[in-house]
Structures are given as structure tokens and as C-alpha cells.
Amino acid sequence: MPTTQQQASMHAVNLAQKASLIDQHWSPRVVAEMNDYQFKVVRIEGEFIWHSHPETDEAFFVIEGKLRIDLPQGSIYVAPGELYVVPRGVAHRTAAEGEAKLMIIEPGGILNTGHEGGERTADNDVWI
């Protein structure tokens, strides 16, 4: 029995180019999906809020700039081409001096503010 097949895309996703299309900071945009997961790009500057995601790990890949991730034990710095995974349930706060462009990998439906909510919660599932 043949299984359902989706049409293959005929172009690669250029992360830097997608990030350049985003017009505001802290507004993740979906660029691809894999099974239940989404790949999102985001431009950040300054500090976000402390939050956690009780239901999932969250991966950050730096495209450009330098990402700081504040964790309960201290801060770690993530450079372009580097990846860091925040384990589920661990409190974190992302930050960048100047601007940084990131890719976030996590299941669909996860909010940027996690369990905290509030005014910095971005619209979810917006593609670019």
C-alpha cells in the first residue's frame, strides 16, 4: 500500500535571508516543519523574560551575533554556528547585546514566554 506523500520543496531555506525579512525583535517566524517540530527564526536585542517550558526542551542555534542564555546556575554564550539545548522545565532568559539572529527548534504550539505568558508573548505559528 503506498503511503501519502507530500510534494518536495524545490528550494533550500536560507536562515539569514529569512531572518532579514523579520521586521521586529522577539517575534519568532516559522521557516520549516519536521514531523511535529518547527524551525523558527527570530531577531533579538536586549533581554527577554525568565520562563520555562514544562513540556519540552528548546534548542537555540545562532545564525549571527552572540546569544547569552541566562540559566539558574549562570550565563552561557552561544556564537554563530553553535547550538544549545535548554532542557525541559529549566528556567532560562535569552539576551543579546546588539542584535542576534537565531533559529529555535521546538515542537509546534510552544509559546516564546512558556508558562509565564504576558505582554511579550508573540503570535504563534506565523510563517515567513
Sign of CA dihedral 6, 12, 16, 20: negative
What is the spatial distance between Cα 55 and Cα 27, in angstroms, rounded to a whole number? Answer: 21
Nearest Cα neighbor of 81 from 95, 97, 60 is: 60
Secondary structure percentages of the chain, helix, strand, coil, to 5: 5, 45, 50
CB of residue 25 to Ni ion, shortest distance in Å = 15
Nearest residue (beta carbon) to Ni ion: 58
Per-residue x/- track, 58-97, Ni ion (CB under 5 A)? x---------------------------------------
CB of residue 97 to Ni ion, shortest distance in Å = 19
Q: Which is nearer to Ni ion, 31 or 58 (CB)?
A: 58
Q: Under rule CB under 5 A, which residues in 41-60 are in contact with Ni ion?
A: 58
Q: Write out the residues near Ni ion by the rule CB under 5 A.
A: 58
